[in-house]
A and B are shown apart, each in its own frame.
Chain A
Amino acid sequence: MSARIMVIDDEKIVGDMAKISLEEEGYEVETFLSAAPALERLKEASFEIVVTDLKMKGIDGLEVLKTVKQLHPESKVIMITAFADLDVAIEAIKADVFDFFPKPVRIKELKESIRKALAE
């Protein structure tokens, strides 16, 4: 059974490109433009990996991380951030984030990180 990956980013292109590249690897990918519908979806289904942008209007990436860990503690969360902010990084690590990627994202590194997360 292929792994299920959720991608949340308010930039549509990020989701689109991630979907094309990750589906090529054989994963099942669902993309969301904001956190609220993504969290709704997480109530009915679990995803092995959640890739989320940090800075979003409304519910931000940190809240997504915490909610995912509450609903599905076994899920791994990878965060994409525009800037590496130490305070946010510390909070994310405390909330058990799996990995951190600054923008612009290297897709190969993202794939590598997902492979590692799934291997654990």
Chain B
Amino acid sequence: MNIERKITLSNAAYLVLIVIIAGFAVQQLNSVSEKQRFLEIADDLNASFLTMRLSEKNYFLFNDDNALVDIQSNIVQSSETLESVREDIVPVIGEPDYQSLRSGLDDYAAAVAQENSTHARDPATASLIRERGRSLENTSNQIIHLERERISEIISRSKLLLFVSFFAILVVALIASRSVTRSILRPIKQIERLARSISAGNFRKVETPKPRDEFGPVIDAINSMSEELEEREEELIQSRKLASIGVLVSGVAHEINNPVNNITMIAQTYDDMYPKLSEEQRIDFMRKVDQESERIKGIVTNLLDFAKPREPKPREIDINDLVVKALALVQNTLDVSRIDTKLQPGEALPHLFIDDNQVQQVLVNLFLNAAQAMTPGGRLFVTTALQEDGKMVDVVIRDTGKGIEPEYLTQIFDPFFSTKEEGGTGLGLSVSYSIIRNHGGNIRVESTPGIGTTFTIQLPVQTIQKGKS
């Protein structure tokens, strides 16, 4: 269900609840006001009944014949009232109560009418009239009392109902708002994680089932942005390469110029000084010419790698074996520089489909960089581990060297950027970066000047399917 529907639905639920409660409250109020109206009428009737009882006394005690006429006119009045409000009070007090009032009044009227015809004032008639008058009064009082009780009952029930429904609304609101909030927050968290990993240069996608609400399209958009960024990064690398052709020309010229100068100086000295040179010196000169030629060859090879990175030829490789092999290649250099190596191979790592020659080149390059960054006694930590989601294997190479200044960190993968004091073509990391990216992996660097540098190579567990290549 999408979020808009959820919000609309929960709002509709509140509305229905409130309408029901309001309807109930209105009904209760109506019933109270009807009863109130009955009580007013009953009070009027009661007042007439009292007047009749008073006239009764006047008639019997003070022999006032007019009193009987008063009683009769009061009876007629009350009877008319009862008749005219019949429609109003029957629903309130019910037909039986109404009938008992009616018959009480009729009985009383009959007794009074009989006395009026004789004016006998005998004790039997007197007591009958008194009896019926009292009974009428009692009936009326009882009904009023009962109705008062019902009113207070209705009021306290309404109070309770309003109280309960207030809590019901509160609970519904809490549950609904929690569910809506959660369905908004969860995808936001997902998106946040994704954005972080994208900004770290890791062009992942949201793999979990997409929510079917408004966040579905958002996640789609971010996923396609991630893809786009990944493509653009490739383009950026290519255009950076183009942009660095200028740097390349002067860089290569400078790099090659030094060994060329060395060779020409050796050649001139050899030529000028030939008779005076010893046999060993002549051999030493030629060896140096050879070494300097090797230097030029190395620069040219690096250049070719940079200009046209070879397609990786992946094979199934145990990354721990490869790390051990690469370490063995640089062991001599590490020993000479008195660098202590600590290898922590991850256990039960899945095999990777990688070009072992290329990845080994990257490892050797990073090991040598680390060795050059350290003074004797430095330590090199190499760790391999499977990432939590099982999709990538990390090779972490940490040194205790001098570190890289923060302002250089963004440039170290750029071609021809070098911080080395002596030589360095500035191509090693740039070529390493291309190799790892060509494998669908990633290479990251963190460094603190004076503390050391950590390179993390991330290689996908299976970008190239078995049997596909």
**A interface vs B, CB < 8 Å?**
10-11, 13-14, 17-18, 20-21, 24, 55, 57-58, 82-83, 103-108
Contact = CB atoms under 8 A, between A and B. Distances in A.
A13 B288 contact: yes
Given A17-B265, A17-B266, A107 B292 contact: no
B254 A17 contact: no
Interface residues of B, number: 20
A10 B268 CA distance: 20
A63 to B, nearest CB: 16
27 contacts: A11-B258, A11-B261, A13-B262, A13-B266, A14-B262, A14-B265, A17-B265, A17-B268, A18-B265, A20-B269, A21-B269, A24-B273, A55-B254, A82-B254, A82-B257, A83-B250, A103-B257, A103-B260, A104-B257, A104-B264, A104-B265, A105-B261, A106-B268, A107-B269, A107-B272, A108-B268, A108-B272
Interface of B: 250, 253-254, 257-258, 260-262, 264-266, 268-269, 272-273, 276, 288, 292, 421-422
A11 B262 CA distance: 8
Among B260, B261, B262, B268, find the residue whose CB has the most chain A CB atoms closer than 10 A.
B261
A55 B258 CA distance: 11
Nearest to A13: B262
A87 to B, nearest CB: 15
Main DSSP-derived SS at the B contact region: helix
Contact of B265 (A55, A83, A107): A107
A14 B261 contact: yes
A97 to B, nearest CB: 19
Given A20-B273, A21-B273, A24-B276, A105 B264 contact: yes
A104 B272 contact: no
A94 B261 CA distance: 27
A84 B262 CA distance: 18
Contact of A82 (B258, B273, B288): B258
Nearest to A10: B422
A24 B272 CA distance: 10
A13 B270 CA distance: 13
B272 A103 contact: no
A83 B250 CA distance: 9
Contacts of A82: 253-254, 257-258, 261
B37 to A, nearest CB: 107
Contacts of A55: 254
A17 B421 contact: no
Nearest to A34: B421
A10 B269 CA distance: 19
Nearest to B291: A13
A83 B254 contact: yes
Contacts of B288: 13
Contacts of B265: 13-14, 17-18, 104-105, 107
